[in-house]
Amino acid sequence: MRFSDVQHQERALSIVRRALSSGRTHHAYLFEGPEGIGKELAARALAARLLCEEADRKPDADACGRCRSCRLFAADNHPDFHLIHRGLHKQHPERNIRAGKGLFLVVDVIRHFLIERASTTPNLGIRRVFLLRDAERMNEGAQNALLKTLEEPPGNACLILVTSSAERLLPTIRSRCQCIPFNLLPPKYVEEQLQALGNVEPAAARTLAAVAQGRLGAALQWHRIGLLTALAQVSQALANGLADNPETFGKTLLEIARELAIRTVEETGHFAEEPLNGDENGETTRSKTGSKTIETDQLRAALKLVLLLIAAIYRDALIVQSAGEITLRALPPELTAVDTLAGDADADQLAERIQAIATAERMLDRNVAPQLTCEHLAIALTGELPAA
């Protein structure tokens, strides 16, 4: 892993390089910014450099890539590098923890895989490095447990917290880390990388880059799961006026979300290990692949993608409505209902619709049932309900 692999994040990398050059690296970093912009790639580059064993290397240079430590790191087999993520609950020694769904990073996972190991002697070099993915998914108990480690850090441990929602972390957590902000990538760069890395057709790359708004990692995954197919389906639902029938609209959006969720877990392999009985909202969804199931958290994540598509369509409609210039639109007319929506509402009404979509996303975050969320959104999109 090299810092040079991280593109268009000069400010973030300059902070990291200055710390390395001074020889006074912080015991805890918080890499914050939207998903898919290179935060974890930069975190891995920093981890590789901190673990590199080449003594004569410039402090702010990349890891050498040749020493024993670098070879182990590249093979994902370094005993002093620990990737902390929600899926670790399946490796916990206690059966009741393994039986959980892993929706959050719970205190038992943080204690066993991070806190206890942070205080032990490194196996190879002079430090251990912990990369905490999706740090905002720690529940309050886990964050409070980690706080003591941040307040009294072991001298041989470095923690790198990576998050796309720093506001969901406790202020005391944020204040004890050196915050490294990461920015959205240039849309043209995202478009070019989609074509180079994902072999995406130019027209599709332009559309995905417009929807992703500077998040390359997200755009690449969305291409793999067929997000543009979902975009056409969502647009058709809006063009057909399904929002006038909230129940049908909700069912349509949920079906699109289910298909996205199925394609996502087929692409990642993250199906539930056992059939589920459903949660309090009855939102367990069985896929088309036998006994494999889609968990509630996966369905909600896919539904947020559907909401993102609706917001993109309405934003384009607002651009067309306000500017009167079709050339300013980001999404292709053959895939969207932009012209229909732009002709049916004025700029203020379209702005209210966009706010209604943001409200629907907050409802999902508050665990409101997805069907009810979609029905509430349908009523708001018809102008019969306040946006917030």
pLDDT digits (tens, 9 = 90+) for 210-254: 999 999 999 999 999 999 999 999 999 998 887 789 999 999 999
What's the Rg (C-alpha) of the chain?
23
> Nearest-CA neighbor of 102 among 267, 263, 285, 273?
273
pLDDT of residue 82: 97
**pLDDT digits (tens), the chain, 388 positions:** 789 899 999 999 999 999 998 888 889 999 999 999 999 999 999 999 999 998 888 888 899 999 999 999 999 999 999 999 988 999 999 999 988 877 789 999 999 999 999 989 999 988 999 999 999 999 999 999 999 899 887 778 999 999 999 999 999 999 999 999 999 999 999 999 999 988 999 999 999 999 999 999 999 999 999 999 999 999 999 988 877 899 999 999 999 999 999 999 888 755 443 333 333 333 334 444 344 567 787 899 999 999 999 999 999 888 888 775 554 566 777 777 888 888 888 889 999 999 999 999 999 988 899 999 999 999 999 876 554 5
In DSSP terms, 29 is beta-bridged to: 160, 178
- Quote the CATH superfamily of domain 3-181: P-loop containing nucleotide triphosphate hydrolases (3.40.50.300)
Question: How far is the C-alpha of 42 from the C-alpha of 21, rounded, in Å?
Answer: 16
Tell the burial category of 355 from Cβ atoms under 10 Å away from its Cβ (0-12, 13-18, 19+). Answer: middle
Cβ neighbors of 365 (< 8 A, separation 6 or more) are none
Q: Delimit the domains of the chain by residue range.
A: 3-181, 225-381
Whole-number Å distance between alpha carbons of 257 and 264 = 10
Pairing of strands 285-286, 293-294: antiparallel
